[in-house]
Structure 1
Amino acid sequence: MEFSKLIFEPTVDLKLPPVPVSFIEVVFSDVQKIDLDDPLCTSAPLPFGISPLIQSEVVSGRLLTRGDDVKETFELSLDIKEQFSYLPGDSVGVFPQNPLAEVNQLLKRLGLDEQKNAPIEITVKKGVKKKLPIYLPLVSTPKIILESVLEIRGILKKGFLRSLAEYTTEYKEKRRLLELSSIEGAAEYDKYILQQGLTLSDVLTEIPSCVPPLSLLLEHLPRLMPRAYSIASSPLSCGKRINIVFNLVVTPRGRMGVCSSWLKNKFEDVDDLSKKFEKMGVEDSSPTITSKTETVQFPNPHAYRCSSDLDWTRDRCRSLYRVH
């Protein structure tokens, strides 16, 4: 890749943005126990969310399409275990986890692979008049942060690239990061970051001497957000279960989508266990095989509603409708 190739002569003065003020401090903590079952800061509000965060369970799945000339399409059934009023056309947001291979790659690059499960405390540096983003937990671990809190494939803003240059020791590599964050390097930024979609892992691979601290990622990477999926089931027949249908997304760089690949893994977990129990002769009356996930209800963005000729009573429909 030509990403690391310098474009401007060293004598060219680049018009650079100021280095963003660092305001987050990460220290290893003496806390003995962290709730690994609830790694998300659940009190932080979610854009467009109209329900609290719900821990649901994937109870079954089906592969709907397969072939060289078609996208793989899956259907998952989620048991939400709570009262959940909805209509066809509404959607749920599914909280994924970042791909484990990419998480481990970043942990190793940050020098945290041997401390990935060590408790850390996240605070604002003394003397800095800023606040922590509300979605950041005060106590966590490096692995949880990279796996469940930050969007590690988030778009790299110029301010982040400018800050990364401060943690780069090799001259040409540092200069390249400065080019990308400069006014003169706008075309290069557009080509590699916006069009090709290079991620933090991609940039660190091309810039080996850059070793940023975890605190810098907390300051610049966005929050890992839920992905919206339309509900593909009826509230009248499925009770407290909802079905979603999704395609396996593949990015232009050949990566599988964060959420669709994570959901596929959920499907494979449930499907694999089901087949193993089937071979063992376990009856259908056995306990349900499940895989946990986090969901939140989203409103219907297009105000789609079912045809009035459906066999629902006026009162039933009225009780399910919501004002969006």
Structure 2
Amino acid sequence: MASRVEQLLAKATSDCIPEEPRSPSVAPSLTYSEDSEDQDELQHREPPRRRRASTRLIAQSAADIQRITGESTQQLINRCCGGGCCMNSQKKKQGIEYERVPLPDNDAFRSLNLKIDEIPTVLTSITDLPEQTAFLEKPIRRVSTTPSPTDSGISLGNDANTNPDNSVTLEKSFENMALEELDTSIQPPSFVQPHPPYHVFPAKIHNTRELTRPGAEKRTFHFDIDVTDYPDEGGLDFKVGGAIGVSAPNDTAAVDDVLDLLSVPRFIRDKPVLLRTARGRWPTVWGDDKARELVTTRRDLLTWCSDIQSYPPTKPLLRILAEHANDPNEKKILMFLCSGEGQGVFCDFRTGPHMSLSQLLNAFPSAKPPLDLLLSVLQQLMPRFYSLSNDPHESFEVRDGKQHRLVEIAVSVHDTADWRQGCRTGVGSGFFERQARKYMALQRSGDKAPQVHIPMFKGLMANPLAKQFVTDGPMLLIGAGVGIAPFRGFVQRRLKSANCANKVWVLQGVRDSLVDELYSGEWGVHEDEVKRVVQSRRGEGQYVQEEVANQADLVWYIINSVDGRVFVCGSSKGMGEGVEEALIKVAMAKGNLEHDEAKNFWDLKKEVGQYIAETW
């Protein structure tokens, strides 16, 4: 039976002439035409006969796997623990003695959904205790006259860690080390520094607002960020369609919760301490792989350097918890998860919903490993990147008698199930939501210039769309959700010229335009002529990829025009794959191509920069 996209393609039109406000164009418009030349032919084509139901193979290719599971084969491979547990039976084996271990009686453990019945009394292939690479040593004085150097402190030689004769020398060198004078409540320590040669810049929020309305499935916030005082970086500037990096910290409450669970005394959490690493990049982001010595605090390391909620549990982490669990039953369960016999249970555990470090520590309350050993196995907290939603060359505002330069972004809040609060936010989106609500609360209290900051940097990475935006050819911009944000600044810039009104079109996918249409009325004077909003939860219920099929003539005109380009931005799951398949169907219908030929057509357009997809 023909797919929904194929049915919609049968309604596609040709030779539609747009009615632009100033200058005519031969390009088709975003309006649907009923009198296309090939409409009668398509309407009289007999529909394919439905096949009788029969036993059939439901998965014959990677595309079938993705359709059934909702994930690509690569995503499934990445989530696989590699232990071969899917090939092993979980039934009890003959000749092996088992015991029933009492399970921890707490909500956090129950939320892990571990399917543990009986555990073998003898475990094999237990994961080795991981090497400790981070060490927290003697306290350091706080007095400092100059900021600490970039990428921190002193690099050690090969035998500096083990040679006792070096202790006196190191002791003297430590006397000259001190905590840098930097407000780490608004920006990370300088050694984190993801963007040489400058540290992360604590930019002030100039204004913020919630773009979505009550009832929307996802909350989306808009931010005007003041970059007036951003350091000069040798001519490297913000650009339309570009992106900024943000070093989002872990939530303060979550950090305190972990420190409480590890029984780290409150009076030492913010005191200077010497951190020594044996190797690796941590706690820097993109620093060299080498040993380091630097002065920091326990709170800063857990706030800015280690991700405590975004990754699935690993065996090295569980092995550390097992080694330091005082309760014998908790130790047995954790060792079972680290063993060959527990491989199947661990695989289910690891490939389930991501859990926070706090959740694990609450589930096994007797496990209180040293903080520095834990830091040795936690994942690096990485920056997040956000596309600009404005033209940064034109965005200025006067406040307090001073002209402020602004960059604008939109951030959708990512919610994940949480055992204690029902749901929790992502590291980056949660940080932005907290900052937005803090700023708006200060405004409501009467503060006319709230001091709320975003630790950001520029120049290192840019949205791949940015370099392709500089063109005069016709363009079709396809996006859904917050993926539409990077198109806004470009369209605003283009629509300032009347003769460009017939050269850019936007297809915006939303669930319900009443609650989650982003930037309605903010695209420019010709917004009604160039933008079409497609709603999936209201009216006929249509997805943006289906409208791509409806606009087959427009797509075909643009991609075959001189310097014509098609942009796609948004979630890869659902929207991204759907749009790509719709584009293939368009090429099949309008170019009289077979499926593989149509796919190759778009692959070639990607290579020459006419088809640009930025999905995640």
Question: TM class by shorter-chain length?
Answer: 0.7 to 0.9
Paired with 1:117 and 1:189, the residues of 2 have a C-alpha distance of 36
Q: Which residue of 1 aligns with 2:250?
A: 98
Q: Does 1:13 align with 2:165?
A: no
Conservation of the 8 A alpha-carbon contact between 1:4 and 1:176: no
Q: Does 1:149 align with 2:298?
A: no
Are residues 292 and 141 of structure 1, via their aligned partners in 2, closer, same or farther at CA, if it must alter by over 3 Å? same
Paired with 1:137 and 1:257, the residues of 2 have a C-alpha distance of 31
Among 424, 433, 439, the alignment partner of 1:264 is 433
Paired with 1:121 and 1:142, the residues of 2 have a C-alpha distance of 10
* Residues 56-75 of structure 1 mapped to structure 2, 5 A cutoff: 56-75=203-222
Are residues 66 and 14 of structure 1, via their aligned partners in 2, closer, same or farther at CA, if it must alter by over 3 Å? farther
Q: CA deviation at 1:291?
A: 1.2
TM-score scaled to structure 1, two decimals? 0.81
Amino acid at match of 2:374: L
Paired with 2:270 and 2:252, the residues of 1 have a C-alpha distance of 14
Amino acid at match of 1:70: E
Paired with 2:356 and 2:130, the residues of 1 have a C-alpha distance of 20
Conservation of the 8 A alpha-carbon contact between 2:282 and 2:305: no
Among 461, 474, 485, the alignment partner of 1:299 is 461
1:51-105 superposed Cα distances (whole Å, 9 cap, x missing partner): 7432211111011112224322110111122256233322111111212221111
Among 264, 267, 282, the alignment partner of 1:133 is 282
Conservation of the 8 A alpha-carbon contact between 1:4 and 1:173: no
Paired with 1:273 and 1:255, the residues of 2 have a C-alpha distance of 24
Paired with 1:255 and 1:5, the residues of 2 have a C-alpha distance of 24
Are residues 36 and 106 of structure 1, via their aligned partners in 2, closer, same or farther at CA, if it must alter by over 3 Å? farther
Higher relative contact order (CA 8 A, sep 6+): 1
Paired with 1:179 and 1:56, the residues of 2 have a C-alpha distance of 48
* Residues 237-256 of structure 1 mapped to structure 2, 5 A cutoff: 237-238=394-395, 240-253=405-418, 254-256=423-425
Q: Secondary structure at the match of 2:425?
A: coil
1:87-142 superposed Cα distances (whole Å, 9 cap, x missing partner): 33221111112122211111111112422222211124xxxx64673528722222
Q: CA deviation at 1:302?
A: 3.0
Paired with 1:302 and 1:184, the residues of 2 have a C-alpha distance of 46
Paired with 2:471 and 2:219, the residues of 1 have a C-alpha distance of 34
Paired with 1:134 and 1:255, the residues of 2 have a C-alpha distance of 25
Q: Does 1:116 align with 2:264?
A: no
Q: Does 1:37 align with 2:183?
A: yes
Q: CA deviation at 1:232?
A: 0.7
Q: Which residue of 1 aligns with 2:392?
A: 235
Q: Secondary structure at the match of 1:164?
A: helix
Q: Does 1:54 align with 2:206?
A: no
Conservation of the 8 A alpha-carbon contact between 2:207 and 2:224: yes
Conservation of the 8 A alpha-carbon contact between 1:76 and 1:243: yes
1:144-184 superposed Cα distances (whole Å, 9 cap, x missing partner): 22222211114232112112211112122112112222233
Q: Which residue of 2 aligns with 1:317?
A: none
1:251-279 superposed Cα distances (whole Å, 9 cap, x missing partner): 1331112221211121122222222227x
Q: Which residue of 1 aligns with 2:372?
A: 215
Q: Secondary structure at the match of 1:220?
A: coil
Larger Rg: 2
Paired with 1:217 and 1:147, the residues of 2 have a C-alpha distance of 14
Are residues 137 and 44 of structure 1, via their aligned partners in 2, closer, same or farther at CA, if it must alter by over 3 Å? farther
Q: Does 1:202 align with 2:359?
A: yes
Q: Does 1:276 align with 2:445?
A: yes
Paired with 1:256 and 1:301, the residues of 2 have a C-alpha distance of 24
Q: Secondary structure at the match of 1:259?
A: helix
Q: Which residue of 1 aligns with 2:31?
A: none
Q: CA deviation at 1:226?
A: 1.2
Paired with 2:214 and 2:452, the residues of 1 have a C-alpha distance of 26
Question: 190-199 vs 6-15, which deviates more?
Answer: 6-15
Q: CA deviation at 1:237?
A: 0.9
Paired with 1:228 and 1:13, the residues of 2 have a C-alpha distance of 44
Amino acid at match of 2:461: P
Paired with 2:316 and 2:248, the residues of 1 have a C-alpha distance of 27
Are residues 94 and 197 of structure 1, via their aligned partners in 2, closer, same or farther at CA, if it must alter by over 3 Å? same
Unaligned runs of 5+ in 2: 1-109, 144-178, 285-291, 397-404, 473-493, 498-616
1:2-33 superposed Cα distances (whole Å, 9 cap, x missing partner): 65674442424231122112233213414124
Paired with 2:408 and 2:196, the residues of 1 have a C-alpha distance of 19
Q: CA deviation at 1:41?
A: 4.4
TM-score scaled to structure 2, two decimals? 0.45
Are residues 149 and 43 of structure 1, via their aligned partners in 2, closer, same or farther at CA, if it must alter by over 3 Å? closer
Q: Which residue of 1 aligns with 2:315?
A: 158
Amino acid at match of 2:183: D
Conservation of the 8 A alpha-carbon contact between 1:74 and 1:246: yes
Conservation of the 8 A alpha-carbon contact between 1:233 and 1:242: yes
Q: CA deviation at 1:43?
A: 4.6
Q: CA deviation at 1:225?
A: 1.3
Unaligned runs of 5+ in 1: 283-287, 313-324
Amino acid at match of 1:246: V
Q: Secondary structure at the match of 1:243?
A: strand
Q: Does 1:85 align with 2:237?
A: yes
Conservation of the 8 A alpha-carbon contact between 1:249 and 1:260: yes
Paired with 1:203 and 1:113, the residues of 2 have a C-alpha distance of 20
Paired with 2:293 and 2:430, the residues of 1 have a C-alpha distance of 26
Q: Quote the sequence identity (%).
A: 23
Q: CA deviation at 1:36?
A: 4.5
1:285-322 superposed Cα distances (whole Å, 9 cap, x missing partner): xxx4331221122423534432623479xxxxxxxxxx
Paired with 2:293 and 2:203, the residues of 1 have a C-alpha distance of 22
1:174-210 superposed Cα distances (whole Å, 9 cap, x missing partner): 1211222223323322322332212221111111110
